[in-house]
Structure formats: C-alpha cells, structure tokens
Amino acid sequence: MSESQRAQLAGDAVTGDGTTSGITDDGTADVVILGAGPAGLVLGNLLLASGIDCVVLERADRAHVQTRARAGYLAANTVRILEEHGLAEGLRRGGVPHAVCEFRSGDGRFRLDYGSIGPAGAHTVYPQQELVTDLLTHYLDAGGRLEFETEAVAVLDADGTRPSVVVRTADGEGQGRNGRWRGRYVAGCDGRHGAARRSLPAGVVRHHRDHGVTWLGLLAEAPPSLDAVGYAVHRRGFAGHMARTSEVTRYYLQIERGGPADAWSEQRIWDELALRMRAADYGPLRRGPIVQRAVVDLESDVLEPLRRGSLFLVGDAASLLSPSAAKGANLAVLEAEILARALVDDLAHGNPEGLDRYSARCLEHIWRAQEFSHWMIQLLHSPPGPADGETLFHDALARSRLETLRTSRTHQQWFAEGYVGV
Ligand code: RFL
C-alpha cells in the first residue's frame, strides 16, 4: 500500500506531491508502541526503565483495557521476566501456582503433574486483565506516556528511518480527529486486526491454518470444579476446564462451526459440559451464571519476517496461536522483552545487532509453540461431522496418543516441557 492510499484510508486529503494534509502532528517519540495489551505494556515498561523515550497508543479506553478477560496461565519464564523487571508485585500477591492437568476420555482419566516432571516448571494462574492493570499502573506511575482512545490507522514509511503512525482519536461527541505520531521505530503490539499488520507491504509471508474447529469460550461465576486443568476428549466434541480464581472458572465447549452461540442456553451448556467431562463418573460440575461467552474459531498464523524496516511485530500481531495450549500471552511477553533489549542496545548504545536478529529469534520460539499447540489440537478434537472411516482413524490415533501420554515417562516429560515452555 502506498503512502497516499494509507492516508486515504485515514480519511485525509492527499496533496499533489503525495504528502497528506488535514493531519496534525501530535508528537514524537523514539519508539511508538501500538496497543496496550501484555506485549505493548511490557515493552513500554522496559523501555521506560531504560530511559528510552516511548509512547503507547491504545484504541480502547482505560476501563475496557483493564477488564478484558482472556488468558490466565502464565509460564514460569513469563513470571521470571516480570520479576526481573520489577513488574510482578500483583502476580506475587494474587497469582496461584498450578501444575496439574487431568485428561478424561472413554478410556478413563489420568492426571499429569507436569509442574514437577518437566524442566519448565509450573504455571501461575493470574487473570490477564489483572496483569494488564498492573502493567498499566506501573507504566503510568513511572511517568510513561499513553494515549487512550487513539486508534492507529496506518504506519507510513516503515521502510524509512523516520516512520510515522496516522491515528484517529475520538474528540468527544463522536467527533474524530486525525493526527500523526512520528518515531524512530514503531512496535506493532496491536493484535491480529491491528494497523501494524495492515500496513505491511507485499513480501511478508503469512503462514495460516484454520483448524476447522470452533469453541464456545465461557466464563462462569462458579468456583473451579477440579483442582487441575481439565481436558475432556469426547465423540460429541472437546470440553475444557481452567480455573481463573476461586470464584471464576473458564470452560470451553467445542461447537458446530457457524452455529449460533445463543442457541446454547445456560442449562444446555452445563448439561453438555457435564456429559463430556463425564461428571457422572468423576464428580459434578460446580455451576454458576455464565458471565461471558465468545465464539472462537481455532486458527493459527505466523507472519514472516517480523520486521519490516523500522516496524516490528510483537505478540498476537506477530503470530496467532489457538488458545488450546495457553501460549499467546506468554509469547507476547517474551517477544516484548527480546525487542526491548534490542531497542535499548540500538538507541542507547548504537548496536543494531539485536534488532537485526529479532525476527529470527522470535520465530524460533513461535514455531515451537505452534508445533505444540497443533499437537494439542489434534489430541483434543474429533473432526466434526459423521463418524466415517477417517474420523474413526483420527479418534483411534488420539486414543493411542493419550495412552502413550498416560504410560510413558519420556512422553510426559516432553509434554511438560512443551506445555509450560515458551
Ligand atoms: P492484545 O492483548 O490483543 O492487545 C492488543 C491491544 O492493541 C489494541 N489495539 C489497537 N490500539 C491502537 N490502534 C489499533 N489499530 C489497535 N488495534 C488493537 C487493543 O485494544 C489491545 O489493547 O495483544 P498482545 O499484547 O499481543 O497479547 C496477546 C494476548 O492477549 C493473547 O495472545 C492471549 O490472550 C491468548 N490467550 C492465552 N494466552 C496465554 O498465554 N495463556 C492463556 O491461558 C490464554 N488463554 C487466550 C486465552 C486467548 C483467548 N481468546 C482471545 C481467544 C483464552 C482466550 C479465550
């Protein structure tokens, strides 16, 4: 996309010489960060602590950012990064260690104490909105610059040494206003539908996989029903259980692709969860009001390379992972740390090596996480549709995989490393 096309996207007039008019300059920063999710806020905090001039531009308002419930399982490496940079105070107070998962299927159930088996340690359960609130508070208290309700529309001149970000802000009464932030670097931490991805020129490859599986992601105001992550493999489809807090539990229910989510009444949801999780055999589910539901088509993608000139992709903007293996937020934090170190090396010490290696380093972690997450998807889901030969073959393979996992120590160690490692 050319500069003039992007400017038109932003609703601005384009003058004869290709420059844009009607856009006011809002400011400059060495690093302009798009998005105040885990990736953008870890990056912002780390840069600020190193004295690098940066600004975070966030489309939503503060209340929205602080209440968006998503991830919950933080890997040991994520906790290490947050602790090392003094960002783990809330996590230390409110996080709960978690180390066991339980698989249920027609062949019975077994538990895996992955936290004590593998080299990667245990998870810490801490809701993502709490983590984001901590990171936000820390950043603002330290004097960080952050513009809420400021949507990045396009990144211009990513190939040059002075990229800029065209933004649209809501100036009361729904009146929009276009502005522009200029920087030395732009960090695209604005998720899979953000401006960073949209602004990439041709030449960036998007590896993409639609797993053909759809989940109803549910948040229930109900205490956890078991003291483990629960994965239930069932011919009717997958069901999952993940504790969030002592009063809130996340459940997942595989549903038919394209089916309306509101066809699922609360009663039907709980009955189906109980059936697939074999509650009659292993204990009842603790029911409560469903306070959030979202339809999630399981998709994965990876962009390559993760750098285009002065523009870097971080977190979900770089790669989307299906939530089956709880990796997305953990990768986002890891990539933010890698990028922060590289930016400090370049901007404070004149050493651009880390920036040159950023994409390759992150892609190594991303593909390992994608591979594990893909393995989990194959393990947990029956192909949708009638039980034909192919489906039966897939199901028999999944049973065999589960049996190997139940009985082989080597396999359990591999699982533990992949499950918590990033
Ligand atoms: P985020 O969190 O999406 O934040 C992006 C931010 O950018 C803003 N934004 C823009 N700002 C300015 N201009 C624009 N044009 C913008 N467009 C967007 C957004 O408002 C937002 O504030 O991306 P980030 O920082 O890369 O973090 C990624 C994680 O949020 C994500 O990977 C995880 O939530 C994935 N995930 C899980 N990951 C884990 O590691 N462990 C888990 O247990 C886990 N559970 C989950 C999950 C994702 C789920 N969903 C969303 C399907 C459970 C679920 C249900």
Instruction: List, in order of start, the domains of the chain with CATH numbers.
Output: 3-72+128-204+305-371 (3.50.50.60), 211-298 (3.30.9.10)
Closest CA to 152 of 197, 119, 105, 212: 197
Q: Which atom of ligand 1 is nearest to the CA of 194?
A: 17
Closest CA to 222 of 294, 258, 273, 179: 273
C-alpha separations of 98 from 86, 341, 383, 421 in Å? 22, 30, 30, 14
DSSP, collapsed to helix, strand or coil, labels residue 212 as: strand
User: pLDDT class for 402, splitting at 50, 70, 90?
Assistant: very high
Closest CA to 261 of 294, 219, 221: 294
* pLDDT reported for residue 20: 58
Instruction: State pLDDT tens for residues 336-375.
Output: 999 999 999 999 999 999 999 999 999 999 999 999 999 9
The Cα 144–Cα 348 span in angstroms is 18
Q: Which atom of ligand 1 is nearest to the CA of 320?
A: 32
DSSP, collapsed to helix, strand or coil, labels residue 36 as: coil
Percent of the chain with pLDDT over 70: 94
Around ligand 1, the residues with Cβ closer than 6 Å are 34-40, 57-60, 65, 70-73, 128, 151-152, 189-191, 194-195, 217, 296, 315-316, 323, 326-330, 332
Q: Among 169, 181, 190, which is best to mutate for testing ligand 1, by the most ligand atoms less than 8 A from CB?
A: 190
* pLDDT reported for residue 16: 39
Catalytic residues: 98, 231, 323, 327, 419
Residue 289 has pLDDT above 50, yes or no: yes
Residue nearest to atom 54 of ligand 1 (CA): 70
Give 7 or 283, the one with higher predicted confidence: 283
Long-range pairs, 250-253, Cβ under 8 A, ≥24:
250/72, 250/217, 250/218, 250/219, 250/220, 251/218, 251/220, 252/215, 252/216, 252/217, 252/218, 252/323, 253/215, 253/216, 253/218
Which residues fall within 8 angstroms of residue 315, CB to CB, at 6 or more apart? 35, 37, 38, 39, 40, 189, 191, 328, 331, 332, 335, 336
Residue 14 has pLDDT above 60, yes or no: no
Taken in order 365, 371, 376, 377, the sign of the CA dihedral is positive
Query: How much distance in Å is there from the Cα of 35 to the middle of ligand 1?
Result: 10
Residue 394 has pLDDT above 80, yes or no: yes
Query: How much distance in Å is there from the Cα of 107 to the middle of ligand 1?
Result: 36
* pLDDT reported for residue 11: 47
Residue 385 has pLDDT above 80, yes or no: no
Q: Which two tokens stand for residue 59?
A: 């489309």
Q: Which atom of ligand 1 is nearest to the CA of 65?
A: 22
Residue nearest to atom 51 of ligand 1 (CA): 70
> Please, what is the average pLDDT of the chain?
92
Q: Which atom of ligand 1 is nearest to the CA of 193?
A: 17
Query: How much distance in Å is there from the Cα of 393 to the middle of ligand 1?
Result: 35
Query: How much distance in Å is there from the Cα of 233 to the middle of ligand 1?
Result: 27
User: What is the widest separation between alpha-carbon atoms in the chain?
Assistant: 74
Residue 8 has pLDDT above 70, yes or no: no
Q: What residues does 296 pair with on adjacent strands? A: 215
Residue 5 has pLDDT above 70, yes or no: no
